[in-house]
A and B are shown apart, each in its own frame.
Chain A
């Protein structure tokens, strides 16, 4: 403990924020920043932006320098995550590779895997997707069944299905979780593979969703050959890899930053409102502004305490607050625009992005661990006395 209580950005962090905001304004169009669309055209714009970031080592600013990163401090990393998410995550699908695939390869990968994948992620050349959820294994991730049976020649054959796979149609690689053995616990016998998406036997079926076209997919594996050098971490002990990934993933998205930015824009609507309901709307937005501040502070607490990857309930509490805020703010934004809120026309109030924010927010209490699971974890920590 230093004995200090300071919550303000340093001049260096403020300068970094300005740099990122200027870069986003210069490199990306307002249409790109308006909504999330996992189309190839949209992804190409994101890839170009990632290559631009990579030139300044900003794409992997959080990574250690020996892995092609910028060696950023935890607060520089945080500022970056906040600015990107507040601007509709202009790295697109790249955020997965940067935020948790790369760190997992750093932690568990062989030197060969690190040489193959880390520079490619750092340069913005590769897109990854996450082969986790299955039809019968959602929140209960350890119940996954996609089998990878070892063959006499030492290879594995993958058969089964993944679902809700974001960006699968755009990805070059899949971070694939498989069942290689049945153990006494369902967490036993899981193995992670790093698989190229153009491998024979992999097929993709897009799923239309509330969040936009082709955002979610089903991915089918039909006798797909997996090689031993594609295994990440120990065979049958992939649950440790998954646990690390989930911790990175759950703390990795600064949802509160986007809520914060939306509220700052909605405030102008609330301030200008007149007539019945106007003062209630201002009160509602004011309350949400406070909640956005609180959500940010709860997230910062996990970073200060160094417990973002620990067993404490702090990251869980922060994530519950952030995801609920995400939906509340989206609802307030819709409410503030009244009848015009449901149109996505660019000439609609606020450029029509409000309805996209609302649609996307529907997923925030589901993706990367449902609120129900998070509440279970938070209560377990409280009961066990680690809160």
Chain B
């Protein structure tokens, strides 16, 4: 087993992170929420300058790793641009399609769809595609700050092979970036904040919150690396992707709830980054569907195709052909 990162991926993450920090970090997302037009006037030029729109996650190990680490850097500042959707577009569709979204049957809102360009919506369980277009201007909610009402239309048959797996891997790294920032905020607050004459990090209850944050964050990071490796080797399965989506949501819930407990009232303030991270994270982990539905899909997929663990769950065998009943493209 190897778990190494190409140097160019490490450098690219540093470049993306540095550029976004210089542009204000999480405050850039705050300002774009107040004035969504800033996404095109301020954010887009930064991303273009970095060459992020041209990254092709299917172009080999180094570029896939660069895409993943760039998403982690973007997530660290909840960068207000549909980057995951952009980078999930298969290379064969670049120029024709600008963004891929996930849907679970229907889809009524999509974040940043107003600036995404020509978009497809890919069904998470059937992988059927349809065209996706906005029906109005951005209609923000606190937990959906860049949500855009949308509609679908039947699409020509297009080869979106790999888009679902790429989307979920990149989204997972984006969420790792959010959680990593939240982890750092919680640790720093626990170290600096004093109550009852001592720092709150010395209280057992706070230590438990911090350790749960570490476990949840690291769990998502390791599974995201695992799926990235399988994506590069072109052996990722639908069950792998659903497993990662499930962990992404569960880890996010855990880290954010524990981080809020550590930061207490301070972390509820809009002036504090934790609140912005939390709000902007929600549409990413809750679309295209909730965690219980993902778990149900995963169980169905395991029943059909098995699950590759140390002691694998075998795929169901068709009584007619004697072959596994289902194989992921």
CB-CB under 8 A from B88, the residues of chain A are: none
State A317–B212 Cα separation when bound (angstroms): 9
**A261 and B310 contact, CB distance less than 8 A:** yes
Contact pick for B313, options A289, A294, A380, CB 8 Å? A289
Count of residues in B whose CB is under 8 Å from the partner chain: 56
Contact pick for A267, options B1, B210, B302, CB 8 Å? B302
**A286 and B295 contact, CB distance less than 8 A:** yes
**Beta-carbon nearest neighbor of A289 in chain B:** B307
CB-CB under 8 A from A39, the residues of chain B are: none
**A3 and B299 contact, CB distance less than 8 A:** no
CB-CB under 8 A from A267, the residues of chain B are: 302, 307, 313
Whether a CB of chain B sits under 8 angstroms from the CB of A297 is yes
State A257–B311 Cα separation when bound (angstroms): 8
Contact pick for B222, options A8, A257, A298, CB 8 Å? A298
CB-CB under 8 A from B183, the residues of chain A are: 382, 387
Q: B1-42: which have CB < 8 Å to A? A: 1-7, 9-10
Q: B217-266: which have CB < 8 Å to A? A: 218-219, 222-223, 225-226, 228-230, 232-233, 243, 246-247
**B222 and A3 contact, CB distance less than 8 A:** no
Taking Cβ atoms with an 8 Å cutoff, the residues of B that contact A are 1-7, 9-10, 61-62, 65, 183, 187, 190-191, 201, 204, 206-215, 218-219, 222-223, 225-226, 228-230, 232-233, 243, 246-247, 292, 295-296, 298-300, 302-303, 307, 309-313
**B302 and A7 contact, CB distance less than 8 A:** no
Among A25-33, A224-232, A362-370, A371-379, the stretch that binds chain B is A371-379
10 residue pairs from A and B, CB less than 8 Å apart: A2-B2, A3-B7, A3-B61, A5-B225, A7-B226, A75-B1, A282-B303, A293-B309, A300-B1, A381-B214
| Distance between B137 CB and nearest chain A CB, rounded to angstroms | 39
Q: A8-B1, A283-B295, A379-B208 are in contact. Are A320 and B309 (CB under 8 A)?
A: no
CB-CB under 8 A from B292, the residues of chain A are: 283
Q: Mark A269-290, 1 if CB is under 8 A from B, else 0.
A: 0110000000100110111011
CB-CB under 8 A from B233, the residues of chain A are: 6, 8
CB-CB under 8 A from A380, the residues of chain B are: 207
**A320 and B215 contact, CB distance less than 8 A:** yes
Taking Cβ atoms with an 8 Å cutoff, the residues of A that contact B are 1-9, 75, 82, 86, 256-257, 260-261, 263-264, 267, 270-271, 279, 282-283, 285-287, 289-290, 292-294, 296-298, 300-301, 303-305, 313-314, 316-317, 320-321, 372, 374-376, 378-383, 385, 387
**B207 and A375 contact, CB distance less than 8 A:** yes
Q: A82, A293, A374: which has the most chain B beta carbons within 10 Å?
A: A293
Q: A304-B2, A313-B214, A379-B214 are in contact. Are A4 and B311 (CB under 8 A)?
A: no
**Beta-carbon nearest neighbor of B9 in chain A:** A3
CB-CB under 8 A from A321, the residues of chain B are: 215, 219
**A293 and B218 contact, CB distance less than 8 A:** no
CB-CB under 8 A from A8, the residues of chain B are: 1, 233
| Distance between A369 CB and nearest chain B CB, rounded to angstroms | 13
State A380–B230 Cα separation when bound (angstroms): 34
Q: A286-B295, A290-B246 are in contact. Are A374 and B211 (CB under 8 A)?
A: yes
State A205–B224 Cα separation when bound (angstroms): 49
State A287–B243 Cα separation when bound (angstroms): 8
State A234–B299 Cα separation when bound (angstroms): 55
CB-CB under 8 A from B9, the residues of chain A are: 3
**B247 and A294 contact, CB distance less than 8 A:** yes
Interface residues of B, dominant DSSP: helix
CB-CB under 8 A from B302, the residues of chain A are: 267, 282, 286, 289
**A383 and B310 contact, CB distance less than 8 A:** no
State A381–B222 Cα separation when bound (angstroms): 18
Contact pick for A260, options B222, B225, B228, B311, CB 8 Å? B311
**B208 and A6 contact, CB distance less than 8 A:** no
CB-CB under 8 A from B211, the residues of chain A are: 316-317, 320, 374-376, 378-379, 382
**A298 and B218 contact, CB distance less than 8 A:** yes
CB-CB under 8 A from A317, the residues of chain B are: 211, 214-215, 218
**Beta-carbon nearest neighbor of A377 in chain B:** B211
State A161–B2 Cα separation when bound (angstroms): 46
**B6 and A3 contact, CB distance less than 8 A:** yes
**Beta-carbon nearest neighbor of B208 in chain A:** A375
State A321–B6 Cα separation when bound (angstroms): 28
| Distance between A365 CB and nearest chain B CB, rounded to angstroms | 13
Q: B209, B215, B223, B296: which has the most chain A beta carbons within 10 Å?
A: B215
**B229 and A7 contact, CB distance less than 8 A:** yes
Q: A289-B302, A383-B210 are in contact. Are A4 and B4 (CB under 8 A)?
A: yes
State A8–B303 Cα separation when bound (angstroms): 22
| Distance between A249 CB and nearest chain B CB, rounded to angstroms | 20
State A379–B208 Cα separation when bound (angstroms): 7
**A287 and B246 contact, CB distance less than 8 A:** yes
**A86 and B310 contact, CB distance less than 8 A:** yes
CB-CB under 8 A from B5, the residues of chain A are: 1, 3, 5
| Distance between B71 CB and nearest chain A CB, rounded to angstroms | 15
Q: A298-B219, A383-B190 are in contact. Are A264 and B3 (CB under 8 A)?
A: no
